[in-house]
Amino acid sequence: MEALAASVRPPGLAVILAGADPASAIYVRNKIKACKDLGIKSEHLTPPSDVTTVELLASIIKLNARSDIDGILVQMPLPAQVDSKAALLAVDPSKDVDGFHPFNVGSLVTGRPGPRSCTPAGIMELLRRYEIPVAGRRAVVVGRSDIVGKPMAFLLLHENATVTICHSKTPDLAAVCREADILVAAIGRPAMINAAHIRKGATVIDVGMNRIADRSEAERVFRGAREKLEAFDRNGSVLVGDVDPIAMADLASAYTPVPGGVGPLTIAMLMVNTIRSAERRLGAC
């Protein structure tokens, strides 16, 4: 960071937000705010909802060529008519601060240096900071997406956990989850992981971000948690993870709450990836 501070320019991050997905707009706003707080120059491109793949690729190619841009983030999901895979492939791997480009996925799988997917990288940082041992422990990851489940499993594996990946076709999910010392839920199903899935004393990482707009569902999830139900009544909805928050608090030895657990770390790791990219590109490391 010292070398960076003395350099001729701040790190630069370009964020492309195509279309009008409200959740994406909030994520992008938070990312841009974090850039401002840290002195990272951010640029926000907002192509319209009917942008074509060719137009989007042209914007990415221009950003690839710019020397003041160290990181390019294409916010997912893209509008349906855009070829998302082509967009991710178009980002110069050296500016891929999300770690989604196949080149960087290959680096992850083979244990070579490179940007790591931000949410799993944040979770590893959290485990390190809280001194939760990983080597030799049983880790179960529920979810096998390219952005969370798979990279999470590889990062845990590289730290010598014994890793099981579960998905929607896994029989007797609860029994597999109960084997976990470290249980990571990245599913997208509100409070699906419950007391039957959590072994007493496990570390539970809840990646899920689900908005509940049905009060009876909120009552089921937050039974007796007055504060949460009052928040629901004020806002008409409430955020819940993939893990039943009451069961998690009762059974886990350590857990990440939703909101405020994994989410902020994802943004922090995006900033780390951007700064590292700038350092590499400026020859500071």
Residues annotated as catalytic (active site), given as ranges:
31, 75, 98
The yes or no reply on residue 256 touching ligand NDP (CB under 6 A) is no
Tell me the window of 34-42, 55-63, 201-209, 277-285 that interacts with ligand NDP (CB under 6 A). 201-209
Q: Does 47 bind ligand NDP (CB under 6 A)?
A: no
Among 112, 129, 169, 234, binds ligand NDP (CB under 6 A): 169
State which residue, 33 or 62, has the beta carbon closest to ligand NDP.
Answer: 33
Q: Which long-range contacts (CB under 8 A, 24 or more apart) does 248-252 make?
A: 248/193, 248/198, 248/204, 248/206, 250/195, 251/195, 251/198, 251/199, 251/200, 251/201, 251/202, 251/204, 252/198, 252/201, 252/202, 252/203, 252/204
Q: How far is the CB of 177 from ligand NDP (least distance, A)?
A: 10
By Cβ distance, which residue is nearest to ligand NDP? Answer: 145
For helices 118-129 and 149-158, angle between their N-to-C axes, nearest 10 degrees: 40
What's the closest the beta carbon of residue 229 comes to ligand NDP, in angstroms? 21
100-103: long-range pairs with CB below 8 Å, 24+: 100/146, 100/147
Per CB under 6 A, 148 contacts ligand NDP: yes
Q: Is 238 a binder of ligand NDP (CB under 6 A)?
A: no
Stretch that binds ligand NDP, among 5-13, 67-75, 80-88, 206-214 (CB under 6 A): 206-214
Cα 10 to Cα 201: distance, rounded to the nearest angstrom:
44
Stretch that binds ligand NDP, among 48-56, 176-184, 258-266, 272-280 (CB under 6 A): 258-266
Smallest distance from ligand NDP to CB 196, Å? 13
Does 263 engage in binding with ligand NDP (CB under 6 A)?
yes
- Binding mask 113-142 toward ligand NDP (x if CB under 6 A, else -) reads ------x----------------------x
* CA–CA distance, 17 with 35 (Å, rounded to integer): 16
Candidates 186, 221, 240, 278: give the one binding ligand NDP (CB under 6 A). Answer: 186
Do 78 and 87 meet the contact criterion of CB atoms below 8 Å apart?
yes
Residues binding ligand NDP (CB under 6 A): 119, 142-145, 147-149, 166-170, 173, 186-189, 207-210, 262-263, 266
